[in-house]
Amino acid sequence: MYAKMLIGKKIKIAESSDRTLLGVSGQIVDETRNTLVVQTQTTRKKIPKSIVTIQLEAADKSFRLQGRDLIGTPQERIYKY
């Protein structure tokens, strides 16, 4: 589980039940309990956490996170994990 803040991190949608989201990449600019807002090169996309697996780049490491494990506010995640 990833308990840190996601805002500012660069991600790519690795898997999704919504084919239009596959491959979307950019920087997370906002987060709600159920969604991530990603700034791509051309637009902002609201991504439902429950249907995606994200590839997260942090430092020199790469993580794959199930979106359903990220459901909740950042504050809830810190206390949960």
pLDDT band at 81 (very low <50, low <70, confident <90, very high): low
Res 25: pLDDT: 97
CATH of the domain at 73: 2.30.30.210
Is 63 among the domain residues?
yes
- Total domains present in the chain: 1
Res 64: pLDDT: 94
Q: Which two tokens stand for residue 11?
A: 């991600």
| Residue 1 to residue 70: CA distance in whole angstroms | 8
Query: What range does the domain containing 17 cover?
Result: 10-80
Is 2 among the domain residues?
no
**pTM reported for the whole predicted model:** 0.86
Per-residue pLDDT of 23-42, as tens digits, reads 999 999 999 999 999 999 99
Q: Measuring CA to CA, which residue among 4, 74, 79, 63 is closest to residue 35?
A: 74
Res 58: pLDDT: 76
pLDDT band at 1 (very low <50, low <70, confident <90, very high): very low
User: What dihedral angle (degrees, nearest 10) is formed by the CA atoms of 58, 63, 69, 72?
Assistant: 10
Q: What percent of the chain has pLDDT over 90?
A: 69
Q: Which two tokens stand for residue 44?
A: 């902002």
